[in-house]
Each structure stands twice: as structure tokens, then as C-alpha cells.
């Protein structure tokens, strides 16, 4: 009896999107592996490679298109928009992610998660130390900003439920697209899971530059400002209020018990405390607006469900 694997039962509700830029050495083996594992809905979204990437992809019989816009983010936004399945898998086209691992992510997604990230467990020598540390720092930063407990937010292999991204803005560029997807799901449905996956040595040349880490960190801050402003505002308020009140207490103590007035310190204390209080008020307003946003989203969802269930009457 044939084994009931993806090879005998390809997942019809999943599209695999492979972003590529100059991957002529890797794309052949990547697609062969996907096809051998039973995946049939495959879209290669190419960033305008001038090597044989597209030619090789076409020869494997998969869908190949040239992305609009620039960078990996625009490629994925386009790929996800043209996929007509419930689930979309993203997998880098550099041979680092074994296609066999996709099955684990798929099984997890079927349990109702909106985003399942493949958390990389690198083969020896597959990931240089600097990138390993950089990934850890950026993931920790993301966890602080969004209250998540992820171990590898920047992984290039994940499965996302298309519907869960319908309200995402997709404003980020290049390699910040992973953080944007994770930020959106974390702050909307919160249904994120991770599964460990093997990570191999890349075939071909890396596209990620050395300064990318800093850009990604700054983009995470921008995402936090958009999706989770409360933490940033209360953080700022605390940074101003704590020293402001401490200085005020010291100035008051010196004046009352020693009769010495510290005029300049007094002004500094007043300014810090006043701005800190304004930040606190802003934080309260943010909470109120967030609640309102949730109420509006819930109402829209209920309305959508009601319209979907209303039977159409014949004329």
C-alpha cells in the first residue's frame, strides 16, 4: 500500500512561493526537491535575474513570473496576491531550506495557526557566527517589541494563511517583509507557531548585505510604532518620568531641608515630568484607540459572516 505522504496526496490548499534573484545554481535542485515531495502549486517570483534562473525554473514546469517593484518584499507581496489557495508557503530559492521540512509546517498550519515559522537549526558551517548572533539579537528585539516568544522571526521558510494577511499594509522593503508578516499576525490573531527545521549551506551567492541587520532593527521599530505603539509610548513616558520625578524630589529636599534652591535642575525636572505625563496620556489614548480598532474589526467580521450565510433569494 502506498504511504500516505504528500507525494501521494499533494496539498491542494497550499501554494509555494519561491523568491529568486540570480539563483541559477540553486533553483534547479530547489524545485526538483519540491516536486519530488509532491508540491505542484509552485510560483517562482523572480526579481529580474540576468542569469539562467527563470529559464531553469520554466524547464521544471512551474509558474514563473517577474516581480513588480523591487526587493524581496515586493516579490512576496505579489506572489501572495496571485496565489489562489488558503495557505501560502514561502521558501527561499537558495537551497538552504529542505523541501521535506515543509510537511511539518503544513501539519502545524492545519491545526489552525495563521503563521507557522520554520525555526532554523543550521548544519555545521551553514550559518556564519555573525549571522547566527545577528538573528538572535533581532529576534529578541522583535519579541520585546511585540510580546512574542519566537526563536527565529527572520526565517525564510514559513506558511501563512492568506486571509489573515488581508488587512496587512505591506509597507516594508526587502528583508523586513518577514518581520512585517510576523508583526501583523502577532498583533491581530496572535496565532503563530514555530517548528524546528534543518538549515543547509546555501548554493550560490548571498544577497543580504552587511548593514541589513541595522535596517531590519529600524524597520522593527517602525512596525512597533504602527502595530504596538503602547509599549514605545509607555517606555518613553517611563524614561522621562522616572528621572524627572527623582530630580524633583531631590530639588525639593535640598530646598526644604537645606534652604538651597537649584533653579536649573528644577526647570529640568518640570520639563521631564510634564513631557512624561503627556506621553502617559498619549498611552491611554492609544489603549482606547486599540480597543476601538478591535471593536470595529469584530463588527466587520460578524457582518462578513452574516452576509456569507445569508442565502441568495431568487428574483
Ligand X SMILES: Nc1nc2c(ncn2[C@@H]2O[C@H](COP(=O)(O)OP(=O)(O)O)[C@@H](O)[C@H]2O)c(=O)[nH]1
Instruction: Tell me if residue 19 falls in helix, strand or coil.
Output: strand
Indicate the residue among 120 and 184 with the shorter CB distance to Mg ion: 120
Kindly indicate which of the ranges 43-51, 117-125, 264-272, 288-296 contains the residues binding ligand X, using the contact rule CB under 6 A. 43-51
Distances (CA, A) of 220 to 11, 134, 142: 33, 14, 7
- Supply the minimum distance, in Å, between the C-beta of residue 83 and ligand X: 15
Question: What cell numbers appear for 135 in the block?
Answer: 538573528
Residue 208, contacted partner among ligand X, Mg ion, none, CB below 5-8 A by kind: ligand X
Instruction: Tell me: does residue 156 bind ligand X (CB under 6 A).
Output: yes
Q: What angle, 0 to 180 degrees and rounded to 10, lies between the N-to-C axes of helices 212-227 and 229-258?
A: 80
Q: Which contiguous run of DSSP H or E holds residue 92?
A: none
Q: What is the Cα–Cα distance from 115 to 194, expressed in whole angstroms?
A: 8
Among 39, 62, 92, 97, indicate the residue that binds ligand X (CB under 6 A): 92
- Supply the minimum distance, in Å, between the C-beta of residue 210 and ligand X: 11
Q: What is the Cα–Cα distance from 159 to 115, expressed in whole angstroms?
A: 6
> Which strands, in side-by-side order, build the sheet including 157-161?
63-66, 42-46, 14-20, 87-91, 157-161, 115-122, 192-199
Nearest to 62 by CA among 54, 70, 50: 54
Instruction: Tell me: does residue 46 bind ligand X (CB under 6 A).
Output: yes
- Supply the minimum distance, in Å, between the C-beta of residue 246 and ligand X: 44
- Supply the minimum distance, in Å, between the C-beta of residue 97 and Mg ion: 8
Instruction: Tell me: does residue 67 bind ligand X (CB under 6 A).
Output: yes
Which position has the grid cell 514546469?
61
Whether 2 and 76 have beta carbons less than 8 Å apart is answered as no
- Supply the minimum distance, in Å, between the C-beta of residue 71 and Mg ion: 15
Q: What is the Cα–Cα distance from 302 to 300, expressed in whole angstroms?
A: 6
Among 6, 16, 23, 89, indicate the residue that binds ligand X (CB under 6 A): 23
Instruction: Tell me: does residue 47 bind ligand X (CB under 6 A).
Output: yes
| Number of chain positions touching ligand X (CB under 6 A) | 20
Whether 60 and 31 have beta carbons less than 8 Å apart is answered as yes
- Supply the minimum distance, in Å, between the C-beta of residue 282 and ligand X: 36
Instruction: Tell me: does residue 45 bind ligand X (CB under 6 A).
Output: yes
Whether 98 and 175 have beta carbons less than 8 Å apart is answered as no
| Number of chain positions touching Mg ion (CB under 5 A) | 3
Nearest to 16 by CA among 118, 112, 111: 118
Kindly indicate which of the ranges 35-43, 102-110, 112-120, 201-209 contains the residues binding ligand X, using the contact rule CB under 6 A. 201-209
Whether 95 and 148 have beta carbons less than 8 Å apart is answered as no
Whether 93 and 26 have beta carbons less than 8 Å apart is answered as yes
Residue list 75-104, contact with Mg ion (CB under 5 A): 92, 94, 96
Indicate the residue among 94 and 101 with the shorter CB distance to Mg ion: 94
Indicate the residue among 57 and 75 with the shorter CB distance to ligand X: 75
Residue 217, contacted partner among ligand X, Mg ion, none, CB below 5-8 A by kind: none
Among 54, 72, 161, 184, indicate the residue that binds ligand X (CB under 6 A): 72
Instruction: Tell me: does residue 136 bind ligand X (CB under 6 A).
Output: no
Q: Which residues bind ligand X (CB under 6 A)?
A: 19-21, 23, 45-47, 67, 71-72, 75, 92-94, 156, 175, 202, 206-208
Q: Which residues bind Mg ion (CB under 5 A)?
A: 92, 94, 96
Amino acid at each position: 500500500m502506498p504511504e500516505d505522504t504528500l507525494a501521494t496526496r499533494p496539498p491542494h490548499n497550499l501554494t509555494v512561493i519561491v523568491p529568486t534573484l540570480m539563483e541559477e545554481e540553486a533553483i534547479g535542485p530547489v524545485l526538483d526537491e519540491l516536486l519530488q515531495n509532491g508540491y505542484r502549486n509552485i510560483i517562482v517570483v523572480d526579481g529580474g535575474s540576468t542569469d539562467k534562473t527563470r529559464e531553469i525554473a520554466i524547464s521544471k514546469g512551474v509558474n514563473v513570473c517577474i516581480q513588480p517593484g523591487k526587493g524581496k518584499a515586493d516579490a512576496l507581496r505579489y506572489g501572495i496576491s496571485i496565489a489562489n489557495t488558503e495557505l501560502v508557503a514561502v521558501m527561499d530559492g537558495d537551497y538552504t531550506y529542505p523541501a521535506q521540512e515543509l510537511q511539518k509546517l503544513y501539519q502545524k498550519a492545519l491545526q489552525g495557526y495563521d503563521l507557522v515559522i520554520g525555526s532554523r537549526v543550521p548544519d555545521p558551517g551553514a550559518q556564519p557566527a555573525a549571522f547566527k548572533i545577528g538573528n538572535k539579537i533581532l529576534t529578541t528585539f522583535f519579541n520585546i517589541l511585540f510580546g512574542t516568544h519566537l526563536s527565529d522571526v527572520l526565517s525564510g521558510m514559513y506558511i501563512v494563511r492568506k486571509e489573515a494577511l488581508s488587512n496587512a499594509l505591506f509597507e516594508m522593503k526587502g528583508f523586513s517583509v518577514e518581520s512585517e508578516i510576523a508583526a501583523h499576525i502577532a498583533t491581530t490573531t496572535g496565532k503563530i507557531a514555530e517548528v524546528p527545521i534543518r538549515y543547509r549551506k546555501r548554493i550560490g551567492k548571498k544577497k543580504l548585505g552587511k548593514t541589513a541587520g541595522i535596517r531590519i532593527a529600524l524597520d522593527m521599530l517602525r512596525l512597533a510604532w504602527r502595530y504596538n505603539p503602547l509599549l514605545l509610548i509607555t517606555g518613553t513616558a517611563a524614561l522621562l518620568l522616572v528621572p524627572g520625578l527623582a530630580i524633583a524630589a531631590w530639588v525639593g529636599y535640598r530646598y526644604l531641608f537645606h534652604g538651597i534652591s537649584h533653579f536649573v535642575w528644577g526647570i529640568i525636572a518640570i520639563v521631564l515630568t510634564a513631557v512624561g505625563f503627556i506621553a502617559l496620556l498619549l498611552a491611554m489614548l492609544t489603549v482606547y484607540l486599540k480597543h476601538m480598532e478591535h471593536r470595529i474589526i469584530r463588527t466587520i467580521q460578524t457582518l462578513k459572516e452574516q452576509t456569507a450565510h445569508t442565502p441568495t433569494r431568487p428574483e
